[in-house]
């Protein structure tokens, strides 16, 4: 068996840092670094909801995702210059929004929209899962301010949420937290979004010109759980005092 | 436990019909009906590949998906009138293309693009999985023509591919092949794309404002396999003589 | 004199079928087949009018037209993918809307918009005239429902409306109801929209790199009338009971 | 019978002026004034043809049409600001191009595109027919330069081409050359594009919420011929020496 | 030292004409000619302001700029056809609006928007400064009507405003009012917008692949003042009676 | 006289930091911080030039500018979501490109395009001048690599280039390096781009609803020079060894 190009164990995450209060203007602002992938995650609270929700007394969370042109090895054309958002970007921003909404009590925040902006300034694989993990922290900080200002009865974040990628790489097998080089050559790629109670929120497994068996699926899920637990430890540390307010339903269990 | 609104068993598919040679112009043309969902799937063979593949001697499969404005209960604005394709459409057409590419030997067809057009003329849930199941047949017919005309050494479709949805509906539990009403109220929705050898090509499970456990995941997968097998029986019948040419690696097994 | 490629007499229409209640969701839904040309025509009733009509107590009819990418011999790029509607499409949808408005009593229906969607699933010439002929039936069915539900004092469709094409083909002369092959080689092409009282609603004659005399014009019009009468017979049959409600001002006369 | 609001006879054109060499840069440049309608028509010769004509040794004529925002009574939003061309504009530019192509020997000019730009600086009805009449002169001047420079064997314009509008106005009946006020209230509006030999190139009659009989059609055509003859006299005068080069096939005859 | 290609002195403007009441519909309409550059400047009064100003009782001035495709030596693609406005156009229209707003008492006109449309029908350098100079006259005429109709207490135009270009041309040095040929070869190009009291409103100096010293800057400004004074004389003559209403704060002084 | 809100002297810059090698992928990458304004400036070398320059053996520099949605106090809509770039952005990116081209020997780099991407992650006034100052460093680093790899005979950057803003603030007068609060209330705003030899590259002075005299202009320029000199000291320090390669024509002199 070959070893991973960056020397990691197959079930080892890359180094993770979450820097809070990264920018001064947003209600929640985080710079998350996973290996060489760096994403700025900002949360904005807006005092209204999209038209389809008006009058229901309920909030909404929506996400936008973008990459700086030179986040990547070779320069990628700006979507603003192209005049449209690519399919990949739309898929990612729908995923981020959906995932975050699953752990927030939208009724409790009233008619507000939380905008999540994930801007990848440097990319080395896993930008969408890194965005979710970082966005969870930015969102929690923003909702923490709302909670204090409005004196909400319960903290609106029900439990922790983090995301990682797992995959199957030739000559190595199942690996956790793929970097760009691994991701490019993986036959199977799976993004897992999980809560602190071990429940799945999103599971997106894809065999690009390849397939995977149920046995492989179970191994992939097992590696994912290992990563998710560690990511949540970093989230808790970054949130500081706020960490305990989040309704932790329990440990990651099977 | 409540029963399903249309009286089906929890692990029962809706009625399925696949009409081949539906339109006269396309190289492969199918009208697939799953319950009240109807999709026209056409395959077009084009004698060139996208720029990123030129000169590699390899083919490509790409898909486009659309709904007639009144495929839906209330009229949906045309994407051509809006001047842009929605995120949902992009996500679906990327999924269809990716899924089909996983069972075709792209090297064997040379520098050709197969365009798959899935046009939903009536929608009642499951339009993306129905599109994949129907598109597989249209694609196989088109590649059958190429195989005969060009005298290809092997039939370029390696194995069968079909897709279905499973989900978790309140008061009922896990169900197979959700119609629109069930889909709207399901707490978990999962699309499964599987091959005839039982391997997964895509697994997309989503809890919109909800989550699911590993135990539930395994039940969802089990129901999916039941559906996939039956869908492939209908595909085989529709393909007639061509059915045996597709390299069936084996039965759906765990 | 040469005969037509499909063996028809010069003043003979192709086979026509109009299938009503084609789809389940629209208020009026028709599949019209003229030779090998097939168009799905759906009518939707919306409870408001465009801004320029608000407050006038009057209804509106607007049409959209589209072709499936493989309605045509070779694949046509989707307008949604291009991000804009072509000039040809705009011209056709303006024509359909204008024609239908001429036989409907817009005051009597109140502030409602009837959306007409004509989706060509297979094209072999005459798609715009086939769309008008089919859309008239879909519209009448939708207005029939409104008439019954609202107890309107008079049926809002004043008279029958149908459309056909005539043209001048080299070595043959004036012909009725051109198929795609004839249309491509015709020196003159004319679309005629006429009512059951024999009045013209639209007359669009074009000599692409060619011209036509007044004598030829009169022959073209004569052939058009023959076709229009027969199309209206098929419309009446398709409408069943509703057929007699339409205020037939009289016979096609000169 | 009421008289026309501007005192004209029913079969009387408005005052017409055609000023040639209006701008310095274009190969052909004309300011045409019909009553209060003013259009700048410029012709540009480009040394290549659109992709669909390459390698056929044949030329092409294409037209673009626009109105200054304050050509109209109230300000119209600029199409450049809207980011798209309206259906009306597309219809008009397709009409202008088609009409001009019908009288030009496109083989004789080789692989060149003549761009016709019609910019309405003041509008008072009839802008599309005025554009065609003026554009014919700008085109002839540009082709005159090509004819001289390249020593073409025959002058590429086969015969004269002009356009006018006729219509049916309540309490007056059939009228020639409608101004904006008449056009807004006309029940029938018809644009006629005719050649100097009396042949029709385009005939577009429309009853907006109205219809017309064959008898009325013949009266409309008769009025049109009167106008077309007079417009061609003005064209001949404007073209000066060049006027005799245009292959006048004969007089306007029935 | 070489002389200018058109024989002018280095500090000499080209011939200037301002024709008022050029078009019939706009509230203010001017054709301004500076040498061979011709611009139609129209002013439209609209009874509302953009959203960001609503409820403040204050007016707004906004400008749009466009060139006919053959205003230029070779044909420029229409922005409406491209579906977007270029950066150059946006820069110019922002400049025109900003400049005009600086001399108008926006409070006094109430919640109205004055739309300025500058359409260049022929270009030979200096189109943006010519647009400002002409637009000032069109705007003053439109505001003159408002002043009379509404009986405003003071005329809302505080002082005169005109614009010209100056530049540095190789072998000649500093020149006033560059034509296109000079502009193309100038190493430094500066647009100056100044009021009748000699104050600057805009100063935009650019060295494209070049630079300029403070000494050169002072010479450029001196030439600009000479031109501005003469342009204001032409503006006063064009405005006739209205000329004296404009609150002339004084002479152009240093 | 009032003092500045942040306590600075009128001719004092904010704190400046330039961090080089900020990101790993770009050929030149810088994070520049001026007060609370933070911009990532990346330079990319592409091996081809835009169409209008092909075959001339000469390079090109082009710039793109963007702001993160929450770079600002309240969230700004993403240009990619709007589907178009605003006029303000276009103006700024044209300015950055033009300024940088003025100090680079484009012939010496051959047919290459240097893309400059300026992404503002936090905005507090002066984003365009900060972008130019930072982009100069990123560009120099990228060209340093080219110089070494290709063994260019001379270093292609002729001299230093930096930019700052000056303005006139009520009750204070002329100030250097305006922050957002000052910029919002300034009656005159001027951006100055200057080289190390004291020459001007761009001078853009604007009185929004205000004006300025020549005397004020001279004071503004004097303050600008003070700031530019200090900015160049920070640039030199950031460039390290490379600093001496840049052809410093001399000191900032009048």
From D44, D71, D75, residue closest to E70, measured CB to CB: D44
d(CA A206, CA A201): 17
Q: Across the interface, do A212 and B221 touch by the CB < 8 Å criterion? A: no
Contact partners, residue C220, CB within 8 Å, separation at least 6: C166, C167, C168, C174, C188, C190, C192, C205, C212
d(CA E244, CA B71): 67
Q: Across the interface, do B44 and C69 touch by the CB < 8 Å criterion? A: yes
The per-residue pLDDT for range F159-186, each reduced to its tens digit, is: 999 999 999 998 899 999 999 999 999 9
Known binder of ligand: residue E127? yes
CA dihedral sign of residues F175, F181, F183, F187? negative
Q: How far is B34 from chain C (nearest CA, A)?
A: 14
Q: Looking at chain C, which residue has its C-alpha nearest residue D83? A: C84
Known binder of ligand: residue D127? yes
Q: Across the interface, do E199 and F207 touch by the CB < 8 Å criterion? A: yes
d(CA A228, CA A231): 5
Q: Could you tell me if residue B220 is inside a domain?
A: yes
CA dihedral sign of residues A166, A167, A171, A173? positive
Interface test with D, best of E75, E120, E124, E125 (most D CBs within 10 A): E75
B102 in A contact zone (CB under 8 Å): yes
Residue D81: which pLDDT band, with cuts at 50, 70 and 90?
Answer: confident
Contact partners, residue C126, CB within 8 Å, separation at least 6: C34, C35, C37, C164, C165, C177, C178, C179, C183
Beta strands in D22-70 (DSSP E): 28-34, 37-46, 60-67
* Set of chain F residues whose Cβ sits within 8 Å of the Cβ of A69: 42, 44, 64, 115, 117
- The answer to whether the beta carbons of residues E223 and E174 sit under 8 Å apart is yes
For A40-74, the DSSP string reads: EEEEEEES---GGGTTS---EEEEEEEE-GGGSSS
- SS3 call for D148: helix
From C91, C190, C211, residue closest to D195, measured CB to CB: C211
For chain F, the domain total comes to: 1
From B84, B102, B197, residue closest to A209, measured CB to CB: B102
Q: Across the interface, do F102 and E209 touch by the CB < 8 Å criterion? A: yes
Q: Could you tell me if residue A33 is inside a domain?
A: yes
Helix runs in B39-194, H state only: 79-82, 87-101, 127-150, 180-185
Range of the domain at B220: 16-78+85-240
Tokens of F90: 């276009």
Q: What is the per-residue pLDDT for C208?
A: 77
CA D174 vs CA B57, C253, D169, D171, D189: distances in Å: 67, 21, 6, 10, 10
For F209-249, the DSSP string reads: T--B-HHHHHHHHHHHHHHHHHHHHHHHHHHGGGGGGS---
Would you say residue D252 has pLDDT above 50? no
For C145-172, the DSSP string reads: HHHHHHT-SS-SB-S-EEEEEEEEETTT
- What average pLDDT score do residues B197-221 get? 94
Residue D125: which pLDDT band, with cuts at 50, 70 and 90?
Answer: very high
A93 in B contact zone (CB under 8 Å): yes
From F200, F213, F214, residue closest to E205, measured CB to CB: F200
Q: Could you tell me if residue A246 is inside a domain?
A: no
Q: What is the per-residue pLDDT for F1?
A: 55
- The answer to whether the beta carbons of residues B178 and B153 sit under 8 Å apart is no
Q: What is the per-residue pLDDT for F83?
A: 83
Q: Looking at chain A, which residue has its C-alpha nearest residue B104? A: A209
Beta strands in chain C (DSSP E): 16-20, 28-34, 37-46, 60-67, 113-122, 161-169, 173-176, 188-195, 200-206
Q: Output phi, psi for B228, to 5 deg.
A: -55, -45
Put residue C19 in one of left, alpha, beta given phi > 0 → left and psi -120 to 50 → alpha: beta
Known binder of ligand: residue F185? no
Place of tokens 């659109």: D50
d(CA D33, CA D130): 8
* Set of chain D residues whose Cβ sits within 8 Å of the Cβ of C200: 205, 207, 211-214, 217
Q: Across the interface, do D205 and C200 touch by the CB < 8 Å criterion? A: yes
Per-block mean pLDDT, blocks of 10 residues, chain A (254 long): 86 98 98 98 96 94 97 94 89 96 95 98 98 98 95 93 96 96 94 96 91 96 97 97 79 39
Q: Could you tell me if residue C1 is inside a domain?
A: no
Q: Output phi, psi for D242, to 5 deg.
A: -65, -25
- What average pLDDT score do residues E77-103 get? 92
Q: How far is B125 from chain C (nearest CA, A)?
A: 14
Nearest to B223 by CA among B160, B165, B150: B165
Q: What is the per-residue pLDDT for E252?
A: 39
Burial class of residue A184, CB neighbours in 10 A (0-12, 13-18, 19+)? exposed
The per-residue pLDDT for range D138-154, each reduced to its tens digit, is: 999 999 999 999 989 89
Tokens of A123: 């990319």
B106 in A contact zone (CB under 8 Å): yes
Give the neighbours of chain D: at least 3 Cβ pairs within 8 Å. Answer: C, E
Mark which residues 193-212 of B lie under 8 Å from A by CB. 195, 197-212
pTM score, whole prediction: 0.89
Tokens of F212: 């300025």
- Write down the mean pLDDT value for chain F: 94
d(CA D132, CA D139): 10
Q: Across the interface, do B25 and C70 touch by the CB < 8 Å criterion? A: yes
Q: Across the interface, do B69 and C42 touch by the CB < 8 Å criterion? A: yes
Q: CATH number of the domain that C130 lies in?
A: 3.30.230.70
Beta strands in chain E (DSSP E): 16-20, 28-34, 37-46, 60-67, 113-122, 161-169, 173-176, 188-195, 200-206
d(CA C58, CA A50): 31
The per-residue pLDDT for range F111-131, each reduced to its tens digit, is: 999 999 999 999 999 999 999
Pairing relationship of beta strands C173-176 and C161-169 according to DSSP bridges: antiparallel
Global ipTM: 0.93
* Set of chain A residues whose Cβ sits within 8 Å of the Cβ of F73: 25
d(CA C138, CA C22): 10
From B91, B106, B211, residue closest to A90, measured CB to CB: B91
Tokens of A212: 């995977």
- Write down the mean pLDDT value for chain C: 94
Q: Could you tell me if residue B248 is inside a domain?
A: no
Q: How far is C212 from chain B (nearest CA, A)?
A: 33
From C23, C70, C84, residue closest to B42, measured CB to CB: C70
d(CA E120, CA E65): 8
The per-residue pLDDT for range D156-189, each reduced to its tens digit, is: 999 999 999 999 998 899 999 999 999 999 999 9
Would you say residue F194 has pLDDT above 90? yes
CA dihedral sign of residues C231, C234, C236, C238? negative
Q: Could you tell me if residue F190 is inside a domain?
A: yes
Tokens of F45: 């070398």
* Set of chain D residues whose Cβ sits within 8 Å of the Cβ of E70: 23, 25-26, 29, 42, 44, 117
Q: Across the interface, do A101 and B205 touch by the CB < 8 Å criterion? A: no
């Amino acid at each position: 068996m070959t070893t991973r190009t960056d020397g990691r164990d197959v079930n080892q995450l890359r180094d993770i840092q979450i820097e809070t209060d990264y920018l001064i203007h947003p209600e929640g602002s985080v710079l998350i670094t996973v290996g060489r992938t760096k994403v700025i995650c900002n949360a904005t609270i807006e005092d209204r909801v999209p038209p389809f929700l008006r009058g229901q007394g309920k909030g909404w969370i929506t996400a936008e995702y973008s990459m700086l042109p030179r986040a990547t090895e070779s320069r990628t054309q700006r979507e603003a210059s192209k005049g449209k958002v690519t399919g990949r970007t739309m898929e990612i921003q729908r995923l981020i929004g959906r995932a975050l909404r699953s752990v927030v009590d939208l009724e409790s925040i009233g008619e507000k929209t939380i905008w999540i902006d994930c801007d990848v300034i440097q990319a080395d694989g896993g930008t969408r899962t890194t965005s979710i993990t970082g966005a969870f922290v930015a969102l929690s900080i923003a909702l923490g301010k709302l909670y204090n200002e409005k004196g909400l009865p319960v903290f609106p974040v029900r439990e922790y949420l983090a995301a990682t990628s797992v995959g199957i790489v030739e000559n190595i097998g199942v690996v956790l937290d793929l970097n760009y080089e691994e991701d490019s050559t993986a036959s199977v790629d799976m993004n897992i979004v999980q809560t602190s109670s071990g429940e799945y929120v999103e599971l997106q497994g894809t065999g690009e010109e390849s397939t995977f068996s149920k046995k492989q699926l179970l191994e992939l899920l097992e590696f994912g759980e290992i990563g998710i637990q560690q990511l949540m430890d970093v989230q808790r540390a970054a949130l500081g005092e706020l960490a305990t307010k989040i309704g932790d339903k329990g440990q990651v269990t099977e």
